[in-house]
Amino acid sequence: MPEGAADGRIEGFLDLDLDRAQRRGAPEAVLCDAKSVEQVAAIAAEYARLHAEGRDDLGPVLFTRADADRAEAVLAALPDAFHDPAARLLAWPAAPPEPTGGLVIVACAGTSDLPAAREAELTARYLGRPTRLIADIGIAGLHRLLNRLPELREAACVVVAAGMDGALPTVVAGQISAPVVALPTSVGYGVASGGVTAALTMLSACAPGIGVVNIDNGYGAGHLAAQIARWAPAPIL
């Protein structure tokens, strides 16, 4: 450790928020896509160094929005980290905490919303909740949604990811009593391109009980869902 440096501080660009778990009840997350590969590598190395020095209050740390290069940089320093390339997420240590609280279900219509949905599910899991992913419900074929209602009603919080028209969260929220976290995705083309239409639809939802996060912000959705489900009774297995 360089003389004069503080734990978690890398002079000139970073000051890790190591006490965040205590203040906020959730550990630190490192948003990778706004950092250079070198910066990501330095952060991962700092965690490895702190761990080698015996600190055991660090994790789990999430590295989010990590492309292949940044993921490789994390794994070089923390080779036993968990890595889900589709969700662009790494977690270290790899083992999630023992689940507590209510069930978080992440639902989406199909294949294209899966990366954001999976990021949300993994975040909630590493923040300590039991989680489940439902990937095949859509409003253009209501029967698939209706078939899944009993399952959705078991959740303490449901994250619904949707691109294009973004109408799925309203339909789900109208059928259940748990809060819904609406996660717009950038999937789409034409006027739906980039996800703004989905975000606007979700904010305009006719059904109450919906909180919206930023487009493609699977991490934020999972974080919020984990907070919401914290006090709920555990699911019956």
Which of 90, 109, 122, 158 binds a copy of itself (CB under 8 A)? It is 109
Of 52 and 170, the one with the shorter C-beta distance to a copy of itself is 170
Computed on alpha carbons and rounded to an integer, the radius of gyration of the chain in Å comes to: 19
Q: Would you count residue 223 as binding a copy of itself (CB under 8 A)?
A: yes
Q: Does 146 engage in binding with a copy of itself (CB under 8 A)?
A: yes
Tell me how far apart the alpha carbons of residues 183 and 187 are, in angstroms, rounded to a whole number: 12
**96 cis-preceded (ω within 30 degrees of 0):** no
For the bound state, the minimum distance from the C-beta of residue 80 to a copy of itself, rounded and expressed in Å, comes to 25
Decide: residue 88, CB within 10 A, 0-12 exposed, 13-18 middle, 19+ buried. Answer: buried
- On the 0-12 / 13-18 / 19+ scale of CB atoms within 10 A, 4 is exposed
Q: Which of 1, 135, 152, 160 binds a copy of itself (CB under 8 A)?
A: 135
- Among the listed ranges 35-43, 51-59, 69-77, 92-100, the one in contact with a copy of itself (CB under 8 A) is 35-43
The Cα 96–Cα 99 span in angstroms is 8
SS3 at position 118: helix
Residues 151-190 that bind a copy of itself (CB under 8 A): 156, 163-167, 170-171, 173-179, 181-182, 184, 186-190
Which residues, at least 6 apart from 138, have a Cβ–Cβ distance to it below 8 Å? Answer: 109, 110, 144, 145, 168
Binding residue for a copy of itself, selected from 2, 34, 80, 150, defined by CB under 8 A: 34
Of 7, 33, 57, 67, the one binding a copy of itself (CB under 8 A) is: 33
C-alpha to C-alpha distance for 121 and 222, rounded to whole angstroms: 6
Say if CB 224 and CB 158 are below 8 A apart. no
Residue 215 CB, nearest distance to a copy of itself (Å)?
3
Our finding on whether 139 is near a copy of itself (CB under 8 A) is yes
Give the contact letters, 50-79, x = binds to a copy of itself (CB under 8 A), - = no. ---------------x--------------
Out of 46, 160, 215, 235, name the contact with a copy of itself by CB under 8 A.
215
Q: Work out whether 6 is an interface residue with a copy of itself (CB under 8 A).
A: no
CA distances 129 to 9, 15, 59, 87, 228, Å, are 30, 28, 15, 18, 10
Among positions 77, 89, 217, 235, the unique one binding a copy of itself when judged by CB under 8 A: 217
Nearer to a copy of itself, 79 or 236 (CB): 236
Q: Is 97 in the site for a copy of itself (CB under 8 A)?
A: no
